[in-house]
Structure 1
Amino acid sequence: MNVNTISNDRPENPAYYDSLINETEAAKFLGYTVRALQNWRVRGGGPDFVKVSSRSIRYRRRDLISWAESLLVANTSQFAGS
């Protein structure tokens, strides 16, 4: 995961964090592939998402940041694998 993408260039406007972005933008924001997001949606363990319709998925940046922060560990022995 590219943590620098998440921590840098955060606008002060709260709407930035709550606006909906598509899976391509979400994948780029996190530094993962669209396929990884798709797999997490099916298998679980990924960030929360908004299912607008059966073929339209969106993410909030706030949820992407929250998900990434929930995975933070101080050392490898803390990783339990989710």
Structure 2
Amino acid sequence: MSRTARTAAPPASRRPLAKPSEIAEYCGVPLGTVYQWSSRGGGPKLIKVGRHLRARWSDIEAWLDSQTIAA
């Protein structure tokens, strides 16, 4: 009998949290802007995981939708 523990794979709908560099690339802004959003407010909701900043992709999309300007 194997002692290797098996873990269930996360559901396909769950993406890994976005890193600041991924947020910057996706939004087309400098990395420093993402860190300014963190310290000054604004931008998508950011999560502190230990000492690292992360964001849910759904929060990024929701924030981008809220920034849409009606013509």
Find the counterpart in structure 2 of residue 74 from structure 1.
70
Structure 1 alignment gaps of length 5 or more: 1-12, 76-82
- Residues 41-73 of structure 1, C-alpha deviations (whole Å, 9 max, x = no match): 1111111011012x3111111111110100111
CA distance in 2 between counterparts of 1:40 and 1:30 reads 13
> Percent identity over the alignment?
32
How many pairs are equivalent?
60
Matching residue within 43, 49, 67 for 2:40: 43
SS in 2 for 1:15: coil
Find the counterpart in structure 1 of residue 27 from structure 2.
30
The residue identity in structure 1 corresponding to 2:40 is R
Higher gyration radius (CA):
2
Larger strand proportion of the pair = 1
TM (norm. structure 1) is: 0.65
Find the counterpart in structure 1 of residue 9 from structure 2.
none
TM (norm. structure 2) is: 0.74
RMSD, aligned α-carbons: 1.3
CA distance in 1 between counterparts of 2:47 and 2:41 reads 14
Larger helix proportion of the pair = 1
